[in-house]
Amino acid sequence: MSAVANTPTTGRKNYVTAIKEALFEEMERNPDMICQGEDIGILGGAFGATDGLLAKYGSDRVIDMPIAEACIVGSATGLALGGKTVMAEMQFIDFISCGFDQIVNMLATYHYRTAGEVNMPVVLRGPAGAYGGGALYHSQMNEAWFCNSPGLKVICPSTPYDAKGLLKGALRDGNPCLFFEIKELYRKREIEELLPEDDYTIPFGKAAIRHEGTDVTLVSYGQNVYHCIQAAAELEKLGVSAEVIDIRTLVPLDEDTIFTSIAKTNHLIVVNEAPMTCGFAGEIIARVAEKAFEYLDAPPIRITRLDTPVPWVKPLELFVLPSVEKIVQAALKSVKF
């Protein structure tokens, strides 16, 4: 992958604009790239991420698909076999389950089944996550399903800079990638950033340290990174120094950055908004227990969604999801163990 460029543009960009720029730039760079999904053409996507693509690249390369995720993924697999790079959008990541068989039994296994002769340059991307009142059908984080499927790479950026660089990298990777976009971050003004004018990608499997600390390590990804940063600020007032690690990619996972941080802080809290049972937070803690147990001075703690669908009513939604207060209390419990 190319080196990260440092020449900024003149205006700050939000998360969805960063994704849109990545798509436009990769469509321009790669004439064999196809975009397809529900309402991505005429409508420009449910959240505007593909707005303008149809007008610029035409209906042969920007394809409005029926409401049939199995068809979207299956046809993407066929296009990839024919030499195309495919971006397939799920209108909401919740409904990726309708294409599950095509993803885990076809798309993920093709490279292995052909003894490495056939690549599958397909990126499945879509809006994910809760906190917006979307209730049980429009609030899911189902990333753990795909982390469990060999052959897939799983990505979840938390910043506009990362969203653009990781999406561009995914579209050049040659392997099938699941790209989880946090819809509550799409137009969040507080996280807007200056983006490089020059072409850049971000390597997979390299975490980012968002806040340095010495007493407790907070590991997260996506929207919960910001809850961890806020918790770190609250903990600082209480005399506790928290380090915040944004893993950015789940598969591959940057274990070294996590282990190095725990060797310094000796305490671990993992935060994500998927359910606790069999969620990715448990995977991170399992790896720490296997490979870095000697660094721990207290049991690691998971702060996750409760094992329940996401309620629509706001107080109930917030009750079942991670929060700054929950992270602060867990960190205090850990350091006082």
- Nearest-CA neighbor of 163 among 25, 7, 17, 30? 17
Q: Which residues pair with 123 in a beta bridge?
A: 87, 177
pLDDT at 4 > cutoff 60: no
Average pLDDT over residues 177-183: 98
CA distance readout (Å), 265 to 14, 206, 228: 33, 20, 15
Do 29 and 61 contact (CB within 8 A), yes or no? Answer: no
Q: Which tens digit of pLDDT belongs to each residue from 22-50?
A: 999 999 999 999 999 999 999 999 999 99
Average pLDDT over residues 270-299: 98
Active site residues: 138
Average pLDDT over residues 81-101: 97
Architecture field, domain 208-335 = 3-Layer(aba) Sandwich (3.40)
Q: What is the pLDDT of residue 11?
A: 86
Distance separating alpha carbons of residues 49 and 39, to the nearest angstrom:
11
pLDDT band per the 50, 70, 90 thresholds, residue 331 = very high
Phi, psi of 108 (to 5 degrees): -70, -25
Distance separating alpha carbons of residues 181 and 229, to the nearest angstrom:
19
pLDDT at 69 > cutoff 60: yes
Q: Which tens digit of pLDDT belongs to each residue from 132-146?
A: 999 999 999 999 999
All CATH 3.40.50.920 domain ranges in the chain, comma separated:
208-335
| pTM for this prediction | 0.95
All CATH 3.40.50.970 domain ranges in the chain, comma separated:
12-196
Type and span of the H or E element at 314: helix 314-320
Distance separating alpha carbons of residues 230 and 233, to the nearest angstrom:
5
Q: Does 3.40.50.620 match the CATH number of domain 12-196?
A: no
Q: What is the pLDDT of residue 146?
A: 98
DSSP structure string for 122-167: EEEEEEE--SSS-TTTS----HHHHHTSTT-EEE---SHHHHHHHH
Do 122 and 76 contact (CB within 8 A), yes or no? Answer: yes
Q: Which tens digit of pLDDT belongs to each residue from 285-317?
A: 999 999 999 999 999 999 999 999 999 999 999
* Cβ burial, residue 67 (10 Å; 0-12/13-18/19+): exposed
pLDDT band per the 50, 70, 90 thresholds, residue 124 = very high
Two structure tokens written together for 161: 């800079």
CA distance readout (Å), 278 to 148, 181, 182: 10, 21, 21
Do 274 and 304 contact (CB within 8 A), yes or no? Answer: yes
DSSP helix/strand/coil, 88:
strand
pLDDT band per the 50, 70, 90 thresholds, residue 10 = low
Say which residue the tokens 């282990």 belong to: 259
Secondary structure letter of residue 221 according to DSSP: -
Do 173 and 261 contact (CB within 8 A), yes or no? Answer: no
> For 2-11, 229-238, 247-256, which range has the lowest pLDDT when averaged over its residues?
2-11
